[in-house]
Amino acid sequence: MKLKIAAAAVLATAIITNGAIAKTLEDVLKEKGVITEEDYKEVTRVKPIDYKLGKGFTFTTTDEKFQLSLGGRFQLRYTFADTDKGQDFSKWEPKQVKFYLNGYAYTRDLTYGLQGNFAKGNTPQILDDAWLNFRLIDEAQLKAGQFKVPFARQELISDANQQFVDRSIVVDAFKPGRDIGAQLAGKIAKGIFYYNLGVYGGLGQSVVRATNDNLFAARVVVNPLGDVAYLESDLDNSKKPLVSIGANYFRNTLKRQTSGTTTSFEGAASNYAGSNGWLGSTAGRNFITAADNQKVDVDSYGADAVFKWLGISLQGEYLLGQAENQTTDKLLRAHGFYAQTGYTIIPGKLEAAFRYSWLDPNRDVTNDLKVETIGVLSYYFDKHNLKVQADVGNIHTQTSARPTDEKQYRVQAQITF
């Protein structure tokens, strides 16, 4: 009874002096010496309901066998484009409207994730992720469902944690994106080494494939000076240098499909085979001109590197792809790279960054290069959880007629909760 009276008195004092309960009751009781450090740890070991910015609301059962986190992310973007070909335009758009839930069930080793992007409207691609992951040990984890194929570091970094308003045009041209499949992955020596080995349907996000053709992917990463998170920018103003070096590969087989007079690949839901991908370009569509069901074998390779120290960040990737027509043995080859650097002018708050991207969608053809130069200024209210970014860029496209330039000005606000 005395403990209850003391607790009530302490709580009343906190309400009167602060006007609101800024701290939990357990925190106040510990500060006043009503409960010991051991009591505090025992009471706070499990919180049925908790919230952390960027992690969402977390619900945990008292026996700690089940946990569920709910959260979301909004990105609102304004774009003005000054083009050489066509009309200039101004556009407002909700670029990302994502909600997610993740957690574990029965054991902390069995985790799950589900994410939808409602900015994509009423389409099958509204479902981003739906997966289960079972951890045998840190070095061996099995994952199955829909998630990103482990290829291209910048693609594997969440939209929420990008240094620029959007990814490089090179990554967008080569990435397979999300797919349905399974992988074996592991974390070795506390993050010094990572690996991913996976097999996927091969037709992209939310597209089921019922053939003997599959996409095979592999990725390895070495962090010689310690684990490096998949976050762009050095908002933590790292006191020691951080270095990450990665390499990845995937192989897939796609076939030609025709709708009326339009020719494309069945893997159009995979980014690299879509309208903006190197294989989905004009050269790619003309790569197979025979009857339907003609197939091509696609091999893609990539290497990436990251350096962070004292607010300085450097990141770059080189990506290349090759497609071989199974009937004619004709080859289509593409490659490209990007390099970006940033510096936090005000540590953890204000950052300036610059990126250069170079893309050749067909190495056997001249006057088809695409080059992107872009600079960005970002203000972080709470790291990547709450930020505003403004960038100015130019996309230079070579053509046989004459080169074109598209200047774009973008402002984007993001909140993650």
Please answer whether residues 348 and 380 qualify as being in contact, where contact means their C-beta atoms are separated by less than 8 angstroms: yes
Strand partners, 42: none
Which residues in 394-413 are b (16+ Cβ under 10 Å) and which e?
Answer: ebbbeeeeeeeebebebebe
Amino acid at 199: V
- Six-digit token pair at 370? 């695409």
- Maximum CA extent, the chain: 88
What is the SS3 assignment for 26?
A: helix
- Six-digit token pair at 221? 């990463």
Please answer whether residues 307 and 246 qualify as being in contact, where contact means their C-beta atoms are separated by less than 8 angstroms: no
Strand partners, 66: 105
- Six-digit token pair at 371? 């080059």
pTM of the entire predicted model:
0.87
Q: Which residues contact 73 (CB under 8 A, 6 or more apart)?
A: 96, 98, 100, 159, 160, 414, 415, 416, 417
Per-residue pLDDT 10s for the chain (417 aa) are 443 444 444 344 443 344 333 466 667 777 777 777 776 666 666 678 888 888 899 999 988 999 999 999 999 999 999 987 778 899 999 999 999 999 999 999 999 999 999 987 767 779 999 999 999 999 999 999 999 999 999 999 999 999 999 999 999 999 999 999 999 999 999 999 999 999 999 999 998 888 888 999 999 999 999 999 999 999 999 999 999 999 999 999 988 776 655 666 776 667 888 878 888 776 665 666 655 567 889 999 999 999 999 999 999 999 999 999 888 888 889 999 999 999 999 999 999 999 999 999 999 888 889 999 999 999 999 999 999 999 999 999 988 778 889 999 999 999 999
Strand partners, 68: 59, 103
What is the SS3 assignment for 90?
A: strand
Q: Taking the chain, what is the end-to-end CA distance rounded to the nearest angstrom?
A: 40
Distance, in Å, from the CA atom of 3 to the CA atom of 23, rounded to the nearest integer, reads 19
Distance, in Å, from the CA atom of 244 to the CA atom of 306, rounded to the nearest integer, reads 5
Please answer whether residues 303 and 313 qualify as being in contact, where contact means their C-beta atoms are separated by less than 8 angstroms: no
